Amino acid sequence: MKKFDIFKKGLFIENPIFVLLLGLCSALAITTSLTNALGMGMAVICVLIMSNVIISLLRNIIPNEIRIPVFIVIIATLVKCVQMIMNAYTPALYESLGVFIPLIVVNCIILGRAESFASKNGVVDSFLDALGMGLGYTFAVLVISFFRELIGTGGLSLFNPFDASQVIFQFSAFSEYAVSLFTQPAGAFITLGCILAFIQFLKVRKEKKAKNAEVK
Amino acid sequence: MKILKLALFLAVVAGLSGAALSSVYEMTDPVIQEAKIASEKENLVKIYTSGEEFKAVETNLSDYPALQAVYEASSGGSVKGYVYKCSVTGYGGASTPIVYLIALDKDGTYKGYEVIDASGETNGFGSKVKDQPFKDGIVGKNIGDSIDTISGATISSSAVVDGIEQATQHYEENFK
């Protein structure tokens, strides 16, 4: 059961974006469409899992004094590999994500998990932690991009990120009432702010309930 | 002593990651090059129609602002000619450039001319750079012949001709 908890905490309780507020830069920038968010999420999951596993394997031989430079070299190498592979096999996605693929290197989620989890825990636990955190990140960017695309363009569309010609679903409901602000960076901040406020509301309500239960 | 050990460890990590990167690069580079050409291919085959093979040419284009890419057309191992992808500013301004391909054959003639995008040009005037008469004024001519611009569409057509001249210049300096 403990293993499942390691996996689960990244999804909600310690969701990297909504709760830990890590990696916001990419989360704000690439969430203009569901397709981009899904593609970016998968790239982050790949890098996160590989970096966590490698760092966890090497955790006993990496000298403590230079662990951060070593982590960064490993992460940068993985990101560059993912970037080249995406450029080769998913050129359309590569184009639309642009500079944010190389920027996964400085995504604090990845270095954060390496430093706070993978360097102290075993391979299996690190793998589960990476998978949970990666899925949590993907879930969060999908939620943000859902609202941004819906309000910003008046419809939703999802293409297969590996093959732009393959449409999974696409509809346009009220494109004449679209608020194009939401496809702009300001819209990203507004969306994220509203979602964070909603999560905070849920949290406070839960705490209050717990307190009331205690009193009774 | 300790600092040497640390430096050595970091150097080994960097070396390993360099090795990993170069092997991934070797693996993906041909696919990337192929994908680049595939997106251009539907236009390239309009110029070289008998099943030639195309390869992107690595060359320094910084002295030629109009040129975007160079492709080598070959059949059975022998080079037939070079296709230049040009992008020039016409009447539509820099945001909607005229993009076209100009092919220079090994025998010293202009082999083909295909406009990819001239959506910024005025219909009926600048858009004439897409039309057959202008094309006929280019294709088949020898390199170095002057190409007539279109009266009434001077800005668009001289922009195109300027790009063709740059392509010719590059061709003469690199492939002749």
Tell me the nearest-neighbour CA distance from B9 into chain A, angstroms.
8
Is A1 a residue whose pLDDT tops 60?
no
Neighbours of A168 (CB within 10 A): 12
SS3 A70: helix
- Please enumerate residues of A whose Cβ is less than 8 A from a Cβ of B: 62-63, 65-66, 69-70, 73-74, 76-77, 80-81, 84-85, 87-89, 91
| Single-letter amino acid code for the residue at A187 | G
Neighbours of A105 (CB within 10 A): 17
For the record, the structure tokens of A33 come out as 């469409």
B11 touches chain A (CB under 8 A): no
- Give tens-digit pLDDT for B138-151: 888 888 788 888 88
Express as a percent the part of chain B with pLDDT over 90.
14
Distance CA A172, CA A155 (A): 4
- Give tens-digit pLDDT for B2-25: 889 999 999 999 999 999 999 999
Is B90 a residue whose pLDDT tops 60?
yes
> Do the Cβ atoms of B19 and B43 come closer than 8 Å?
no
Q: Do the chains contact at A76 and B28, CB–CB below 8 Å?
A: no
- Terminal Cα distance for chain B, rounded: 59
Distance CA B81, CA B70 (A): 10
Give me chain B's average pLDDT, please: 86
pLDDT of residue A177: 83
Confidence of residue A164 (pLDDT cuts 50, 70, 90): low
Distance CA B49, CA B111 (A): 11
Contacts of B138 (CB under 8 A, 6+ apart): B102, B110, B113, B147, B164
pLDDT of residue A77: 93
Length of chain A, in residues: 216
Q: What are phi and psi of A49, to 5 degrees?
A: -65, -45
Which of A3-17, A128-142, A176-190 has the largest mean confidence?
A128-142
Q: Do the chains contact at A84 and B25, CB–CB below 8 Å?
A: yes
B38 touches chain A (CB under 8 A): no
What is the helix, strand, coil percentage profile of chain B, to 5? 45, 25, 30
Report, as an integer, the average pLDDT of A186-193.
92
pLDDT of residue A107: 82
pLDDT of residue B146: 82
- Give tens-digit pLDDT for A94-149: 877 777 888 888 888 888 888 888 888 889 999 999 999 999 999 999 999 999 99
Q: Do the chains contact at A84 and B28, CB–CB below 8 Å?
A: yes
> Do the Cβ atoms of A113 and A129 come closer than 8 Å?
yes
SS3 A40: helix
B3 touches chain A (CB under 8 A): no
Q: Which secondary structure element, helix H or strand E, spans residue A170, and what is its range?
A: strand A163-172
DSSP class per residue in B37-84: HHHHHHHHHHHS-S--EEEE-----TT-TTEEEEEEEEETTEEEEEEE
| Single-letter amino acid code for the residue at B89 | T
- Give tens-digit pLDDT for A15-71: 888 888 888 888 888 888 888 898 889 889 999 999 999 999 998 888 888 889 999
Which residue in the set B6, B17, B31 is minimally distant from A65, CB to CB? B6
Is 0.80 topped by the overall pTM?
no
Distance CA A96, CA A25 (A): 16
Is A165 a residue whose pLDDT tops 80?
no
| Single-letter amino acid code for the residue at A163 | D
> Distance from CA of residue A1 to its chain's centroid?
25
- Give tens-digit pLDDT for B152-170: 888 888 999 999 989 888 8
Distance CA A170, CA A160 (A): 12
DSSP class per residue in A120-150: TS-HHHHHHHHHHHHHHHHHHHHHHHHHHHH
Is A216 a residue whose pLDDT tops 70?
no
Interface test with B, best of A47, A55, A81 (most B CBs within 10 A): A81
For the record, the structure tokens of B90 come out as 């016409």
Neighbours of A150 (CB within 10 A): 16
Q: Do the chains contact at A88 and B17, CB–CB below 8 Å?
A: no
More confident residue, B41 or A185: A185
Residues of A in contact with B13 (CB under 8 A): 70, 73-74
